[in-house]
Amino acid sequence: MDKDQDNSYSWVAWGKHTQKMRNPNNCGDLVLVEPGTEIVSITGKLDMSNLNSKITSIPVRLSNLDHPNLWLQTFSDSLGNYDLSIPSGQYLIDIPAQLTRADKDYYRIGLDEPQRFNAKPGTSPAIVTPIQTAGPTLNFKVGILHDFDQEKVLMLDQIIEEYQEFYGIPGVSLALIKDGAVVYHNTYGVKNMVTKEPVIEETMFEAASITKPVFAFAVLRLAERDIIDLDRPLHEYLVFESLEPYPEYKKMTARHVLTHRSGLPNWGEELENTPGTKFGYSGEGFEYLKRVVVHIMEEDIEQILDKEVIDLLDLMHMAFSDSEQLQKVVATGHIGNQPSGWPIPEHAGMASTLHTEAKAFSKFAIAILEHKGLQSETYKEFTTIHTESSKEWWKNEDHREGAGLGIFIRETDYGKAIGHSGSNGDFKCIFEVYEELDMGYVIFTNSDMGDELFQELPDLLVEGQATD
């Protein structure tokens, strides 16, 4: 990267797994040296015999002891061999903190301590043996939220911190709901792994696809007043010009969009299926429906949301687009435990741009439990499975799962679980409420690994799991 006096900069990235500017580890090897510096080609080996057989490549980092900012990294092959060229000198050989996936499980690979190595012609590092550590495991017969007390609070905090440490999840915002109220709220970790600024109650996270049920709530309120007809083709309100080459798109309705049967891909302006024929998760459909609603109402979408959702339910700490105020409180997303640096969207999108935090969003979740803001018949439609999702989405093959009207429903041993997850890559989150139990949870993380934590929450908090 080349930073100029006006604080702008140009950059170039190359090498294995390079993606945008997401991680300085991926910017390749650029070493500035004095003329005549001796460059040494070395070959080394890792003893991988004690590792999971599915692990075929491990990063190896050499850090110069005289110049701590000089480090180079390479990857071993499946036999543990690696090679690279470095300036001569004293180095520490280490395996940087990194998760490796084998089958469906993650492992953390590392060394007990780095190995010292004098890089000079004709020398090779001694063979080192990586250590493999498996992630935390849970084993609860009954979810801890059923009988939630101070002992369970300490247990929950410890579990979350263990998951943060192992999976490299910088920050978490959590709220638990029971008997129609928030019974526990806590924040963990940092907003940004570089600045180390702590997550506090006011820290906002990207809610990603959790935006969808909030928008759907507004659409259903408009439908109750006959402002929009859920079964009228959307093109009769507003033409989607990019879809004109696909005549079948003219069958698409708001109901198709909300139940993920629009025929559109998640993102992309082409038609994959005839609307109404099959499940296909689509953010693109929600953006089309947003444009239709804006066209009908002749108002900005954020004004509509304020009237139909935010003000109605007295919600706080919710934003849908960039502002100076949001910039002061927003967490930074992370990929590979490094800040992603992706900007806040300038314009509100109804598929993914909501920013909020767990305690504030719990009020929306509780409103669903208490059937606030919508007629009882509308709530029934809102929280009924209209489209079964693909089997690979299901948590339990013995229970149905699928899309309601802009929200997802899981059938469980404890009745319906109603909610939505979200992923913008560098932020991951989920909320669910259990209709018959009057309980639920909300969790936001600023990490691409956040789902490794929240996929355990249904069992840990509510549903339990079989014990050995």
- Judge if 173 and 91 occupy the same domain: no
The domain boundary residue, chosen from 281, 302, 323: 302
Task: Report whether 339 contacts 253 (CB < 8 A).
Answer: no
Stretch (H or E) spanning 45: strand 39-45
Mean pLDDT of 426-435: 97
| Backbone Cα Rg of the chain | 25
- In terms of domains, do 201 and 325 share one? yes
Does the pLDDT of residue 11 top 70, yes or no? no
Distance CA 374, CA 281 (A): 25
pLDDT at 22 over 50: no
Within a 10 A sphere around the Cβ of 259, how many other Cβ atoms?
A: 25
89 plus 186 within the same structural domain: no
- Say if residue 206 is in the same domain as residue 321: yes
Q: Specify if 221 maps to a domain.
A: no
Residue 423 sits in the same domain as residue 408? yes
The dihedral region occupied by 107, where left means phi > 0, alpha psi between -120 and 50, and beta the remainder, is beta
4 and 100 together in one domain:
no
The helix or strand, by DSSP H or E, that contains position 369, with its residue range, turns out to be helix 358-370
Is the domain of 338 the same as that of 392? yes
Domain CATH for 367:
3.40.710.10
* Whether residues 352 and 425 fall in one domain: yes
- Residue 62's domain is classified under what CATH number? 2.60.40.1120
**CB burial of residue 453 (10 Å; 0-12, 13-18, 19+):** buried
Q: Are 261 and 251 in contact (CB under 8 A)?
A: no
Q: State whether 58 and 181 are in the same domain.
A: no
**DSSP 8-state secondary structure symbol assigned to residue 37:** -
Task: Evaluate whether residue 242 is within a structural domain.
Answer: yes
Residue 43 resides in a domain: yes
Distance from C-alpha of 45 to C-alpha of 36, rounded to nearest angstrom = 29
| 103 shares its domain with 251 | no
Do 317 and 422 fall into the same domain? Answer: yes
Assigned domain for 271 exists: yes
Is 144 within the bounds of a domain?
A: no
Range of the domain at 20: 1-28
Instruction: Please say which residue of 238, 269, 302 terminates a domain.
Output: 302
| HSE-CB of 394 using CA atoms within 13 angstroms | 14
CA of residue 239 relative to chain centroid, distance: 33
Lowest mean pLDDT: which of 188-192, 193-197, 302-306, 354-358?
Answer: 193-197
**Given a cut of 90, is residue 369 above it in pLDDT?**
yes
**C-alpha–C-alpha distance, residues 150 and 127, integer Å:** 49
Instruction: Answer whether residue 468 is part of any domain.
Output: no
Contact at 8 Å (CB) between 222 and 228? yes
Residue 141 or residue 274, greater confidence? 274
Residue 143 lies in a domain: no
Categorize the per-residue pLDDT at 7 as very low, low, confident or very high, splitting at 50, 70 and 90: confident
Residue with tokens 């906002």: 204
Task: Find the mean pLDDT for residues 419-424.
Answer: 96
Taking each continuous run of H as one helix and of E as one strand, the counts in the chain are: 10, 23
Residues 336 and 195 in one domain: yes
Per the structure, the count of domains in the chain is 4
